[in-house]
Structure 1
Amino acid sequence: MNTDPAHPDDRQEQLLVPLAAEDVAALGSDGEQLAALFAAALHGLALLRTGRASAAELAAAIEGTTGLLERLEALRDAALRQPAAKDISHAELATAMHLESRATAQSRRRTLLQKRPGELEKWATGAAD
């Protein structure tokens, strides 16, 4: 991800995402892509909080946030499909998914497992074409 300021007079602070070297290697360029989407979402949040967002900036924030959400949902769904996820109780799953009901967690997992993985879910596991 490019960390050069948009304008020469701008000072750019950086947020650090602590990852083990093996995680960075496993992510490859996808880590950069996610970081860029996360940066767009954070920039949108800053614009909202300062009240200085233009329509174009809000559209960019919406686009970045949507891309990030789609990938995060794919990550969650791919994790639910993993064989080890079968050992997670419905109560634990409800807690992990911030749901009030164990039955809702059970229903969501069942619904997910009844459909085939989408392209972004394959991307999350590294199996995308």
Structure 2
Amino acid sequence: MSTDPAHDHHQEQLLVPLAAEDIAVLGSDGEQLAALLAAALHGLALLRMGRASAAELEAAIEGTTGLLERLEAVRDASLRQPAAQDVSHAALAKAMHLESRATAQSRRRTLLRKPVGELERWATGSAD
């Protein structure tokens, strides 16, 4: 079984509701994220059916890793935005599913000390 949506002509579709403006701004990056999400969901389905091959698990791991890397970049780029500086540490902890505002404060401080990475630039649309 392939994780390529074009491979299976009888597949159902999950829709991701996005505004037309969002789709226009995201362009092919939105399609890339959708493909990575599809690979992760396909891997999840195979795991639940208990019949994933080694190659299918490898594809699920690769898709999930790519998706996680990009989602982390979106989160990190969001934390770096000037408006995020107005978010309290308590609200940040809640948004990041952390129990401690001190942990949220520490994570934000650690992030702000690091240089902006390639995927963060991708997230903001400023990648080369």
* Structure 1: tracts of 5 or more residues without a match: none
- Alpha-carbon shift at residue 3 of structure 1 (Å): 4.4
Distance 1:96 1:88 in 2: 10
Could you tell me which residue of structure 1 aligns to residue 59 of structure 2?
60
Distance 2:5 2:66 in 1: 20
Distance 2:73 2:95 in 1: 16
Q: Tell me the SS of whatever aligns to 1:19.
A: coil
With structure 1 as the length reference, what TM-score do the two structures score?
Answer: 0.94
Could you tell me which residue of structure 2 aligns to residue 117 of structure 1?
116
% identity of equivalent residues:
82
The aligned amino acid for 2:62 is E
- Alpha-carbon shift at residue 98 of structure 1 (Å): 0.2
* Structure 2: tracts of 5 or more residues without a match: none
Count of residue pairs brought into register by the alignment: 125
Give the CA RMSD over aligned residues.
1.1
- Runs ≥4 residues deviating over 2 A: none
With structure 2 as the length reference, what TM-score do the two structures score?
Answer: 0.95
Could you tell me which residue of structure 1 aligns to residue 15 of structure 2?
16
Q: Tell me the SS of whatever aligns to 2:14.
A: coil
